[in-house]
Amino acid sequence: SESLDPSDLVKLLNEYLTAMSDIILDSRGTIDKYEGDAIISFFGAPVEFPDHAQQACSAAVKMKKMEMEINKVFLEKQIAPSPLMTRIGINTGEMVVGNMGTARKMDYTIMGNAVNLAARLEGVNKQYGTWILASEYTISQTKNRFACRKLDPVRVVGINRPVQLFELIDEKKEASDKTLEIIELSHSALEKFQGQDWDGCLELFNKVLSISPDDGPASTYIKRCADFKKNPPPKNWDGVFNLSVK
């Protein structure tokens, strides 16, 4: 509806957060906190288990699928004026986990560079037109279980070492032929891009858009190719992008 009553909005967000939280908990995740409409969670603590990276990725994929079903209901019943869309960042690494604070105020939470990188990746989705971004550290532990699209190596704000980005799309066994074709074309296009073959890259990513007109990464790379054709990168360009926006 055009004007949503504040109490209805609270109910709407609670239903949304409940559905998303249940997926995390069912995947053995621990919910750290809620910040506005964001959910911060971690896997592998307080009880350690070996497939924590796989469970985190599985939860993310299920959340996006659940979101699609929730949006169908919300839009059909005119509960929300537009679809609710969630961006997700996933990273794997060492971090501090435990009770932190003072004797008067204690919180069981997570801290460290690995945590910060996951938070950065959530925001980096905006620059690629993606919904789930995972680091190489996570994808390397998923045993080829997921359909992923390789993107750029990047330096994010506050972290100097480049990290290889992957768009997490679906469980490989459930991925459609269309999705797999897009991934294959994108990987070939990325090789052209990194080799500075701008025309070859443009041709392949335009094929991606012919399959999926709203594809975010394809649109991103097409714009980059056009820009680089006008203003080529320096001769020592290593293909790493510095992301200055959180």
What is this structure's pTM? 0.92
User: Which residue has 């997570």 as its token pair?
Assistant: 110
CB 87 within 8 A of CB 20: no
Cβ neighbourhood burial of 64 (10 Å; 0-12, 13-18, 19+): buried
d(CA 113, CA 44): 17
* Tens digits of pLDDT across the chain (246 residues): 455 566 776 777 788 889 999 999 999 999 999 987 789 999 999 999 999 999 999 999 999 999 999 888 878 877 777 888 899 999 999 999 999 999 899 999 999 999 999 999 999 999 999 999 999 999 999 999 999 999 999 988 777 789 999 999 999 999 999 999 999 999 999 999 999 999 999 999 999 999 999 999 999 999 999 999 999 999 889 889 987 766
Q: Residue 91: what are its φ and ψ, rounded to 5°?
A: -145, 155
